[in-house]
Amino acid sequence: MGSGKALGLARPVAALVACLVCPVLLLSQVPRVDALTAPAAPGSDPSGTAAAADDSCDLPRPDPLPTPGDPAARDFWQAFRLPLPPTPLWDPPGVKHVGLQAGHWLTEQVPPELGRLQQGSSGGGKQEWEVNLDLATRAAVMLTARGIDVDVLPATVPQNYHAHLFLAIHADGDSSGNLHGFKVARPAFSSVPDADDHLVDTLNRDYALATGLPRDDEHISRRMLYYYAFNSRRYCHAVAPGVPQAVIETGFLTSAIDRQLLIGDPDSAARGIASAVVDFLASEPS
């Protein structure tokens, strides 16, 4: 996921223009964004900025936010780590609909509630978002050919996003340059833990088969387990409970070995993702 930060205003029109490079992004899914409350990462208050109302989102968030350095801040953010109530699986009949998020794409356009997202890693002359978008787009083309509807989503997820499956696609970074491999995680507070576990298992199997990369489970981070787009209690722009959801770190951009896949052979990485989506959807009752 990398390091750094960005703060910016949402511009759906700009997203629409950028989408010209992305044949499967459904423009109607790009949210109209208004002022929301301050951003947050699990375990900390990354901004401490004042909240503002958003008429289109009535999420009962426990505002006000704690101020930076407030000893109560830890408990405040801890509340968002409790398991969500069990929720019926979102699995309407008809054409399957999938959201593939290109991590860090259009990070500069996130709404104020997400206002300090990281910008991601880099390597091989590429920024992470470029690699993530390339993989998401390639996987989307493969899935569309199988009759599956796909949204390729930027860093900002539509409010209360619903799909048969949501997958956030990232590439990792490591300052030593020694780490390599991939890893998959689902929300630690999942509302559909059995489905999410099945999704993780399917991704672990199919991505390893398609890429030959080893798993790097020992470095699954808190940022993966409490990924912002999973946090439907805190953010309006999050995936809805009941939607199977996961995040994949597809490899390390800082690893020469992994770059041979991520940049040198992105179709294999995309095929691993697409295969897992197809296999997961085929195994879900409908």
Q: CA–CA separation, 169 vs 158, rounded Å?
A: 16
The amino acid sitting at 162 is: H
Interaction residues for Zn ion, span 146-175 (CB under 5 A): 170
Query: C-beta of 105: minimal distance to Zn ion in Å?
Result: 10
Which residues touch 108 (CB under 8 Å, ≥6 apart)? 6, 8
Compute the least distance from the CB of residue 168 to Zn ion, in Å: 8
Q: Which is nearer to Zn ion, 66 or 120 (CB)?
A: 120
By C-beta, is 97 or 126 nearer to Zn ion?
126
Q: Does 1 bind Zn ion (CB under 5 A)?
A: yes
Nearer to Zn ion, 90 or 129 (CB): 129
CB 129 within 8 A of CB 2: no
Q: Judge contact between 132 and 103, C-beta under 8 A.
A: yes
Each residue 191-230 as x (binds Zn ion by CB under 5 A) or -, in order, gives: ----------------------------------------
Stretch that binds Zn ion, among 23-31, 75-83, 115-123, 133-141 (CB under 5 A): 115-123
CB of 122 to Zn ion, least distance (A): 10
Q: Which stretch binds Zn ion (CB under 5 A): 19-27, 118-126, 193-201, 259-267?
A: 118-126
Q: Tell me phi and psi for residue 63, to 5 degrees.
A: -70, 160
Nearer to Zn ion, 138 or 198 (CB): 138
Report, in Å, the least distance between residue 120 CB and Zn ion.
4
Task: Give the residue, chosen from 42, 120, 123, 251, that forms a contact with Zn ion under the rule CB under 5 A.
Answer: 120
66 binds Zn ion per the rule CB under 5 A = no
Residue 76 in 3-state DSSP?
helix
Instruction: Please tell me whether the peptide bond between 64 and the residue prior to it is cis, using omega within 30 degrees of 0.
Output: yes
When binding is defined by CB under 5 A, the residue of 99, 103, 112, 187 that contacts Zn ion is 103
Burial of 37 (0-12, 13-18, 19+ CB in 10 A): buried
As a whole number of angstroms, the distance between CA 6 and CA 109 comes to: 9
CB of 30 to Zn ion, least distance (A): 20
Buried b (16+ CB within 10 A) or exposed e, 146-164: eebbbbbbbbbbbbbbebb
The residues that touch Zn ion, with contacts defined as CB under 5 A, are 1, 103, 120, 170
